[in-house]
Structure 1
Amino acid sequence: MHLPLLVVTAVPAEADAVRAGADPDHVVVAPVGVGPAAAAAGTARLLATGRYRAVISAGIAGGFPGRAPVGATVLATRSIAGDLGAETPDGFLTVDELGFGESVVNADPTLLQALTTEIPGAIVGDVVTLSTVTGTQTTADRLAKSYPQAVAEAMEGYGVAVAAAGLPFAELRTISNPVGPRDRAAWRLKEAFAALSTASARLWTACG
C-alpha cells in the first residue's frame, strides 16, 4: 500500500490551490495556520494521527528581486529560520551562532531532486522562514546579504520541517510579490495560486 503525501499550507486559499492540481487519491492537503509555531503544531498533529510517505510545506511567498521573479515557482534546498536568534550591537546572531540549536533544515535530497525534475523551470534555493515578513527595503537588503542563496521568504517552512521529524521534507512556493516595501497593488495572488495548482499536479508523480 502506498502511503499518501501530506501537503500543509498556511491558509485555506493555498490549500484550495494545491487541491485544484493534486491527485486526491494520493495527496492529503491541510491548512494548519500562519507562522512557524502554528505550522509546526498543526503538522505534528496530523503526523500523530496518520501515516504519510513525505511532508511538503506549500504556498505563496515573496521572492527576492533578481533571484525569483513574481510568478516563479520555487523549491527550497534549505528552510531557514531567518529571525531565530538574538540582536547584538554588532548585528544579528543566529541560534546556531549562539550555540542554542539549529536554524536550518535541509530538504530531503531525493525528494528535492524528484520535484526539480517534475516541475520544469522551478528555481532552487534557500527559503527563509520569518514570523514577520519584510516590509521595508532596509530589511530586504539585510536578508539578501545575510542569506545570499535565499530565493524567497515565507512564514511556515521551517516549522513544518522541524515537525516532519525524519520524514522526507520539501518546501514548494510560488511567488506572488517581491520581498521589500509592501505594495499590495503589485501583488499577483491569482497568478501565484494558478502556479501553485500547476506545480501541485506533479507532486504525486515526484513522490509516488
Structure 2
Amino acid sequence: MTSYPILVVTAVTAEADAVRAHLDPGNVLVEAVGVGPAAAAAGTARLLAGRTCRAVLSLGIAGGFPGRAAVGGLVIGTRSIAADLGAESPDGFLPIEELGFGTSILESDPQLVKALQSSLPDAVSGDVLTLATVTGTAATADRLATRFPDAVAEAMEGYGVAIAAAGVGVPFAELRAISNPIGPRDRAAWRLGDAFAALRAAAPALAALP
C-alpha cells in the first residue's frame, strides 16, 4: 500500500527547522510558506498541487489566552477561526457568516485531533484564532476572549492553511506552541526559546499521525 506524507506548514523557517531535523522527510514534509493567512493559503495550495498528502498540519508559535494556555505549552486547535474576517458595524463586529458570504470557522479533522491529544497529553485543546493583525492591547485581548470563549491561542496562518486543505479534501489540524500571552506587546517577556523547545519535543507526535 502506498503511504503518502503528512504536510506540515509553518510561517517562517525557524519554526520549520525546529521540527524538520527530527522527522523523516518521506513521512513528514515540513515547509515554511510565509506570514499571514494569504501567504499561508497560497503557499499551502502550491505545495499540495500535484502532490498527494494524507493530512496537512499548520504548526508554529502563537500567543496564548491568559488562563487558558500557558506560555511554553502546546495547544491543539479543534477549530481554526478567522477572527477578523467580516465587517465593522455601529453595534460591533459582524462575522462573515452574518454577511452571508461564507464561514469564518473551519473544523480540524477529529481523527488528527485525537491522535495529537493521545501523543501530547499535556497540550490544551481549543479554538485557535487566525488574525492578520496580531493583538497588541488589553482591550482587544479582552474583546476576543469574550467573543471566543473556547479560544486558547491566536496566530496568523491556521485558517489559510485550512482553506487550502479543504479545497483539495485533505484532513487538517493545527498545533501551536505558546511564546507569549495575548495582550500588550512586550517582546522582552516573550519566551521564544521555550516555545521552540516545545515544538521540537512535539516532533514525534507528528511522525505518529495517521
- On whether the aligned pair clears a TM of 0.5, the verdict is yes
Give the alignment partner of residue 203 of structure 1, picking from 174, 191, 206: 206
Q: CA deviation at 1:8?
A: 0.3
Q: Which residue in the other structure is 1:111 paired with? A: 112
Aligned to 1:144: 145
* Of 22-31 and 102-111, the range deviating more from structure 2: 22-31
Residue 86 of structure 2 aligns with an amino acid whose one-letter code is G
Q: TM-score, normalised by structure 2?
A: 0.97
Q: Within the alignment, does 1:122 sit opposite 2:105 as a pair? A: no
Which position in structure 2 is the counterpart of 1:192?
195
Deviation at 1:93, TM superposition (A): 0.5
Q: Which amino acid aligns with 2:189?
A: A
The answer (yes or no) to whether the contact 1:118–1:206 under 8 Å persists in 2 is no
**Amino acid aligned to 1:188:** R
Aligned counterpart, 1:174: 177
Unaligned runs of at least 5 residues, structure 1: none
Deviation at 1:25, TM superposition (A): 3.1
> Conserved in 2, the CA contact under 8 Å of 1:22 and 1:202?
no
- Compared with structure 1, are the counterparts of its residues 79 and 36 closer, same or farther at alpha carbon in structure 2 (3 Å cutoff)? same
Residue 150 of structure 1: how far off its partner (Å): 0.1
Say if 2:75 is the partner of 1:74: yes
Give the whole-Å Cα distance in 2 for the aligned partners of 1:201 and 1:99: 41
Instruction: Give the CA deviation at 1:76.
Output: 0.4
TM-superposed CA distance for 1:204, in Å, is 1.8
Question: Which stretch of the first structure deviates more once superposed, 197-206 or 74-83?
Answer: 197-206
- Structure 2 portions without partners, runs of 5+: none
Percent of aligned positions with the same letter in both sequences?
68
Whichever residue aligns with residue 171 of structure 2, its letter is P
**Which residue does 1:90 correspond to in 2?**
91
Structure 2 partner of 1:101: 102
Name whichever of 167-176 and 45-54 sits farther off.
45-54
1:174, distance to aligned residue in structure 2 (A) = 0.3
Under a length normalisation based on structure 1, what TM-score does the superposition of the two structures give?
0.97
In structure 2, distance between residues paired with 1:109 and 1:97: 26
* Deviation, structure 1 residue 20: 3.3
Structure 1 equivalent of residue 161 of structure 2:
160
Q: State the partner residue of 2:8.
A: 7
Amino acid at match of 1:202: A
Matched residue SS, 2:209: helix
**Cα RMSD between the aligned structures?**
0.8
